[in-house]
Structure 1
Amino acid sequence: MRLNSFSDVSLRILMVLCVAPEADLSTTRELADAVGTPYNHVSKAVLKLRQMGLIEAFRGRSGGVRITAAGRNATVGGVLRILSDHSDVAQCHGSMGDCPLMPACGLRGVLNHAREAFYVSLDQVTISSLSEPPTSGPITVTLNTSRVH
């Protein structure tokens, strides 16, 4: 499955806000720089995330946004279900007309089922867990390469 760019940017914004100190507010410009995305795209994502209750926004000179408790606890699957465009995975309708196989085709249903399985697998992952340092993994070891004589 492939994320659309709006969903990708929205998830990255949530991750950035999740690691920021709770009292700090981030501006939309700062978020745009942090996620490497144009300001206009980030401002649209911020608006949608605010409407979803995942972030809160404060206006004014010292305003900005921060993640809410709901945003920290939201699952990736839940967020993606809301942000996705819900178009069929298979292109059954096109500029040349409908696919001639549509009446007897099972592909559309199978692919939509696979998309839901993708979301279900992400229902186990919270936004806050995406930004946690790994609990285990490779250990960095520095070797002395100078020769002792």
Structure 2
Amino acid sequence: MKLSAFVDVCLRTLMLLGSQRDQQVTTREIAEQIGVPYNHVAKAVLELRNRRALEVTRGRYGGSQITEHGLQLSVGGLMRDLDDRDDVVDCVSEAGVPCPLLAHCKLRSALRRAREAFYAELDSLLVADLTATSAKALLPFPLVH
């Protein structure tokens, strides 16, 4: 199962802010610390603020801080909500031609069940569980296709 780039950035943002709970961190600082382009982080911060996972203060001394609600979010639930892809595989070509096997395909439903099992495995894991240690190792940002 491959995470979307947006889900990845949201999780990295929450993990970073969870490890720096007593600090306000600017979007630019988040981007630098997690090694992700600023505009991707800005979009993630907005989404997480709308979900009440972050408290965002504007202005010269502003920044983002993770909320208690954000710390208590289920990782599986959050990933499920943020992943806007309908299917794990594309059943339509780039030219818009549907797969000839689509009518009797059992792979799509099996992959949907597998994706749900993946998320279900992460349902009991909270964002707070991911921030118990403050490892500063940077993972490479995935390429967006």
After TM superposition, the runs of 4+ consecutive aligned structure 1 residues lying more than 6 A away are none
Please, which runs of 5 or more residues in structure 2 have no aligned partner?
134-145
Q: For 1:21 and 1:71, how far apart are their aligned partners in 2? A: 11
Q: For 1:88 and 1:47, how far apart are their aligned partners in 2? A: 25
CA contact (8 A) 1:55 1:65 kept: yes
Q: Tell me the TM-score normalised to structure 1 length.
A: 0.85
Which residue identity is paired with 2:7?
Answer: S
Q: Percent of aligned positions with the same letter in both sequences? A: 46
1:67-95 superposed Cα distances (whole Å, 9 cap, x missing partner): 01111010111111111122211221223
Q: Cα RMSD between the aligned structures?
A: 1.4
Q: Which is greater in Rg? A: 1
CA contact (8 A) 1:90 1:107 kept: no
**Structure 1 residue 58 corresponds to structure 2 residue 52:** no
**Structure 1 residue 20 corresponds to structure 2 residue 31:** no
Please, which runs of 5 or more residues in structure 1 have no aligned partner?
134-149
Map of 2:68 onto structure 1: 69
Q: Tell me the TM-score normalised to structure 2 length.
A: 0.87
Q: Aligned pairs, how many? A: 133
Map of 1:114 onto structure 2: 114
Which residue identity is paired with 2:113?
Answer: H
Which residue identity is paired with 1:40?
Answer: N
CA contact (8 A) 1:58 1:65 kept: yes
